[in-house]
Structure 1
Amino acid sequence: MKQANAFIEQKLAERKSAGSYRTLKPENSLIDFCSNDYLGFARSSVLKNKIDDELKGFPLTSNGSTGSRLLSGNLQYTEDLEYEIAQFHNSEAGLIFNSGYDANVGLFSSLPQRGDTIITDELVHASIIDGARLSHANRYTFKHNDLDGLEAKLKQAKGNCYIVIESIYSMDGDTPSIIDILHLTEKYNAALIVDEAHAIGLYKKGLVCELGVEDRVFARIITFGKALGCHGAMVLGSDNLRNYLINFARSFIYTTAASVHQIASIKIAYRMLQDSDKAVEALKNNITLFKSGIKDTSTLLLSDSAIQCLLLNDNEKAKNAASKLQHTGFDVRAILSPTVPQGTERLRICLHGYNSVDEINLLTKTLNELTNA
């Protein structure tokens, strides 16, 4: 036991020395430029009341689901919602997972087999990386949004080949050229999988639907914990893919199902999403306002999404800048290595439909003063 404790102490000391030690922080009363609550659903009293109304009319027999969906935890209510969400996203079918992490780990650990190939953009989410590691497939990465790099890896691919990208990258906020990637996918007879976690809301049904290419994409992952303001995720695809995951995705099979409250929250959030045009328009206007207010754009990553990042290229600089912003009243967080590659440490600013013009103007003014100091 002494050796194990010594190992833990050493690793924590290394993190502290590198300036990348993580701690948990409780909620605060700062102006929110940190959360993924892009449309304000998570803080919405309207959504909360509608969820309460939905549950009053539900014959609730237990607070928890009581088991996995393959045992006692499945409900017709859940299956009906899966069909409804799939139809909303122009997909044949879908399967709900307890979180986005579970969805990606389940999909990528079970679908690619030994002798197959997974090719991912180097900036895909950790859950995709972890799922791919659990598979027995050959794994390659290509430089971020580099089509030539992707094609070079496609030429090396064997077996069934899966290309994996995000429609909006969670730490850069940028968007890949999905149409060009689809051309390469089809040229080499591969299958494209798109994680849409941060696109839902800004693009109501996701960027794949916005582009009208849903029939050309093999699978999509959508999450409910960002713009939808609740929790969970779903893999969209064919009926066969849904049935495959029910049979082989371990993060679906061997976990207690989501509670009725969680499923009801997702259902009502989707009903609100259908009528969210004003909130989406407000979000897009705030993105434009923020970008126009930054004077020195050389440190601002190219992004048309709700995620806007200022590169500071050092853990301590990023932490100090975030601390100054928090003392000014803004909840802005530093993103440190190793979450992002060393030398790309940054401030990650999340914009929302509910941020006021005055709040955004004051934020950009403060950022301009920080970068010119």
Structure 2
Amino acid sequence: MSGESKIEDKIRSKLANRKQTNSLRVLRTESNIIDFCSNDYLGFAKNISVKAVKDQGATGSRLISGNSKQFERIENKIAAFHNAPAGLIFNSGYDANIGLFSCIADKGDTIIYDQNIHASIRDGIRLSNARSFSFEHNNIDALEKKLQQADGHILVAIESVYSMDGDEARLEEIVAICEKHKADIILDEAHATGVIGKNGEGLAQSLNLEVKIFARVHTFGKAMGCHGAIVLGSKDLRQYLINFARSFIYTTALSKQSLNAIESAYDKLKESDDLIEQLSHNISLFQSLLSKKLQSKLISSTSPIQCILIPENETVKKVEAGLQKKGLNIRAIMHPTVEKGKERIRICIHSFNTEKEIKMCVSSLEKLVI
């Protein structure tokens, strides 16, 4: 093949467009500046004690050589913690959502999802044969209108805590409306795991609604400080996913070291009431320090995710750069990740952030946000 491929021209053109619109994504290396951007809400990533193992790789998929008694013991342990009949571990939250949503609904079924749902769920829905509709974020009337248009088996996909806004699903109302229309709920608890509930069990359990939810997805890469995810539901759902979820079937299983980290994180979570309380205190402190100017730009949230709206990619990038210069690791969330005109600075509060750091964060925001 002589000359350069035409696809290279297309690649360069699309990258140039991203640069022109100030939306080019780039990787950054770890820095020593103050963490207000990671999902390590309880500091587990640096503080869980993990037993080292001799064997590093799982050697194959769980249907061939990668399964073990350890896998099944940990699945049962996590399912019991979350008051679920059964659970199946996936390699990541993305894999769990892709696998679940791509296989759970068939042609003639309907998936209805919140318009702010995570990209992994959107991608899973695209891979399914079901019809799909979005509804206006957290709008119960809009959800009911979509439910009235639905056919076949109906699934409603929502998140406990929305990753880009930080607000909670109106779960009690959504459960009631779904029961009325005989729809099943799939609840992504990624940003609620380890954060909501006395022991960080998640939103469904904190409201005693777990038995009303068809499937819950708890991920381990946020507050749990490690990697992987589990889909919780009935024993039949577990067996169904083993047979039909392609992201489970056709991938090498997690290593023993990863499983040790997951188990250690859950053991630590049971003894972390003080960390969860400190996290809640730090969130309240951050909000109490904000001026009326910043409060007017703040998206309402009681979770660790606190977002200040700063429209336009160029403007929000300048604020991000100013915060980084002040030693604060805070990131801008830009279009196309969020809707144009709703670009924002996303601050993640942690249990380990000190009062001095939080005051410094707020003071810097006051100076940089016009």
TM-score (norm 1): 0.96
Distance in 1, matches of 2:105 and 2:21, equals: 36
> Could you tell me which residue of structure 1 aligns to residue 50 of structure 2?
51
* Alignment pair present for 1:83 and 2:76: yes
- Give yes or no for the alignment of 1:42 onto 2:66: no
One-letter code of the match for 2:297?
Answer: T
CA deviations 1:242-285 (Å, max 9, x no partner) are 00000000000000000000011000110000000111011000
| Match 2:299 to one of 301, 309, 322 | 301
* Counterpart in the other structure of 2:31: 28
Q: Offset at 1:2?
A: 2.2
User: Offset at 1:328?
Assistant: 0.3
Partner of residue 350 from structure 1, selected from 323, 343, 348? 348
- What residue in structure 2 maps to residue 270 of structure 1? 266
What corresponds to 1:111 in structure 2?
Answer: 104
**TM alignment of 1:238-249, pairs within 5 A:** 238-249=234-245
Corresponding position of 1:135: 128
Partner of residue 316, structure 1: 314
The 5 Å alignment of 1:146-157 reads 146-157=139-150
What is the letter of the counterpart of residue 39 of structure 1?
L
Within the candidate set 227, 230, 239, 1:231 is matched to 227
Are the aligned partners of 2:319 and 2:369 in contact in 1 as well (CA < 8 Å)? no
- Work out the CA distance in 1 between the residues paired with 2:86 and 2:218: 13
1:227 Cα deviation (Å)? 0.4
Structure 1 residue 201, shift from structure 2 partner: 1.6
Structure 2 equivalent of residue 211 of structure 1: 207
Residue number in structure 2 paired with 1:279: 275
> SS at the partner of 1:299?
coil
C-alpha contact 2:215 2:233 (8 A) present in aligned 1: yes
Counterpart amino acid of residue 312 in structure 2: D
Query: What amino acid is the match of 1:309?
Result: C
User: What residue is the counterpart of 1:291 in the other structure?
Assistant: 287
Q: What secondary structure, in the 3-state scheme, does the structure 2 residue paired with 1:43 have?
A: helix
Residue among 106, 118, 123 paired with 1:125: 118
CA RMSD of aligned residues (A): 0.8
Instruction: Indicate which of 162, 176, 185 corresponds to 1:183.
Output: 176
Residue deviations 1:219-244, cap 9 Å, x none? Answer: 10010000010000010000000000
Q: CA deviation at 1:313?
A: 1.1
Tell me how far apart the structure 1 counterparts of residues 240 and 187 of structure 2 sit (CA, whole Å): 18
Does residue 11 of structure 1 match 2:14? yes
Q: Spell out, residue by residue over 1:337-369, the C-alpha distance to the aligned partner (whole angstroms, 9 max, x if none).
A: 111111111000000000000110111111112
How far apart, CA to CA, are the structure 1 residues paired with 2:269 and 2:16?
45
Q: Which runs of 5+ in 1 are unaligned?
A: none
Report the count of equivalent residues.
362
Match of 1:360 in 2: 358
Tell me the equivalent position of 2:252. 256
Structure 2 unaligned residues grouped into runs of 5+: none
Paired residue secondary structure (1:90): coil
State the match for 2:137 in structure 1.
144
Instruction: Give the deviation of 1:371 after TM superposition.
Output: 2.3
The answer to whether the aligner puts 1:160 opposite 2:163 as a matched pair is no
Q: 1:196 aligns with which of 189, 193, 218?
A: 189
The Cα of 1:70 is off from its aligned counterpart by 0.1
1:247 and 1:144 mapped to 2: Cα distance? 33
One-letter code aligned to 1:179: E
* 63, 69, 90: which one aligns with 1:70: 63
Q: If the length of structure 2 is used for normalisation, what is the TM-score?
A: 0.97
